[in-house]
Amino acid sequence: MQKMLSNKWVILAFVAPAVLLYAMVVPYPLLKSIQYSFYRWNIIGTAQFVGFQNYVRIFTSDYVFTTALKNTALFTIGSIVLQIPLAFILAVSLTKVTRLNKFFKSVYFLPCTISGAAVSLLWQFIYHPNMGIINAVLKSLGLGGWARTWLAEPDFALWAVVISISWQWFGYHMVIFLTSLSTISPEIFEAAEVDGATGWKKVWYITYPLMKPFIKISMILITTSSIKAFDNVYVLTGEGPANSSTVLALHMYNRAFLQLQYGYGAALAVILLILCVVLSGVLNKVFGTKNAEY
């Protein structure tokens, strides 16, 4: 058995199906999308080569793109601000709690196992103006004037989606941070305590620097998923009201599959890809700390 597994042809035979499937699902469609971004095509008729015309239209005459780009930026920032600190605080807190640790970890991680559409339907009921728990709590506290139609008001719709997604995924990043904490030697904390570092000083000067590589991973995951966000926004708000919650992935979907401007939608997809790659590179650069110094 060992001799067979050391044979490169046997290894190739096992790996080839997975590589072939990956090539069919990821690189080929990606290259075809880049190709079609230079065409005008409604899927049904013949594709017409237009060069960079789709990209010129996006940046010069597509006002929805500008709105979607701004909303995507706010969506990304809001997701990072809500998820990273909460996940970090919970991870640090759970390292100090000895009883019911597994219970709390399971409870916080549970929303990650639910599909985005199901989570969005759940939050639709939470935000419901008449039956929703948020307005019900506000009214019970005598704050009925603060009650809103959360998903139908331009000032709140996007943030309502951000909160629902953050609720779904903060437990995922909490688990990442718990994993990073388990790799830190207890001797480091003992030495810090001897030097007088206690409480949140120990967290800020010891825990946080050693967790930076894992925080970088979480920030990249949140950033790329926020740029590609679609299902939660689509289910909760569609794209309204008045494009106030339209993000780039939803705008791409509308152009390509609802308005049958497939070439234009492909150009938007390429821009999404570039944004993901560039922002991932920027975050890698910003958090490119040298672990050796710790």
Cβ–Cβ under 8 Å, residues 279 and 228:
no
**Whether residue 13 has pLDDT greater than 60:** yes
Residue 150 lies in a domain: yes
**pLDDT score, position 219:** 93
Q: Which domain holds residue 219?
A: 53-287
| pTM confidence score | 0.87
Proportion of the chain above pLDDT 70, given as a percent: 95
**Whether residue 182 has pLDDT greater than 70:** yes
Cβ–Cβ under 8 Å, residues 231 and 116:
yes
**Whether residue 284 has pLDDT greater than 50:** yes
**Whether residue 294 has pLDDT greater than 70:** no
Q: Rounded mean pLDDT of 37-50?
A: 91
Residue 85 lies in a domain: yes
**Whether residue 7 has pLDDT greater than 80:** no
Residue of 137, 159, 119, 134 whose CA lies nearest to 244: 159
Q: How far apart are CA 288 and CA 246, in angstroms?
A: 33
**Whether residue 189 has pLDDT greater than 90:** no
Q: What is the CATH number for 281?
A: 1.10.3720.10
**pLDDT score, position 292:** 39
**pLDDT score, position 4:** 62
**Whether residue 186 has pLDDT greater than 90:** no
**Whether residue 12 has pLDDT greater than 50:** yes
Residue 83 lies in a domain: yes
**Whether residue 291 has pLDDT greater than 50:** no
CB atoms within 10 A of CB 258: 9
**Going by C-beta distance under 8 Å and a sequence separation of 6 or more, which residues neighbour residue 228?**
249, 272, 276
Average pLDDT, the chain: 89
**Whether residue 197 has pLDDT greater than 70:** yes
Residue 176 lies in a domain: yes
CA of 37: how far to CAs of 14, 57, 255, 277, in Å? 35, 12, 12, 18
**pLDDT score, position 290:** 52
* Pairing label, strands 48-49, 39-40: antiparallel
Q: How many residues does the chain have?
A: 294
State the DSSP string of 23-43.
HHHTHHHHHHHHHHTTEE--S
Residue 138 lies in a domain: yes
The total number of structural domains in the chain stands at: 1
Q: Rounded mean pLDDT of 99-114?
A: 88
| 293 — pLDDT class (breaks 50, 70, 90) | very low
Q: What is the DSSP letter of 114?
A: S
Q: Rounded mean pLDDT of 130-134?
A: 91
pLDDT tens digits for range 154-167: 999 999 999 999 99
Q: How far apart are CA 53 and CA 266, in angstroms?
A: 12
Residue 27 lies in a domain: no
CA of 44: how far to CAs of 24, 47, 199, in Å? 23, 9, 64
**pLDDT score, position 74:** 96
Cβ–Cβ under 8 Å, residues 269 and 33:
yes
Residue 200 lies in a domain: yes
Q: How far apart are CA 219 and CA 285, in angstroms?
A: 12
Residue 98 lies in a domain: yes
Calculate ∠ Cα 87-89-92, nearest 5°: 105
pLDDT tens digits for range 116-129: 999 999 999 999 99
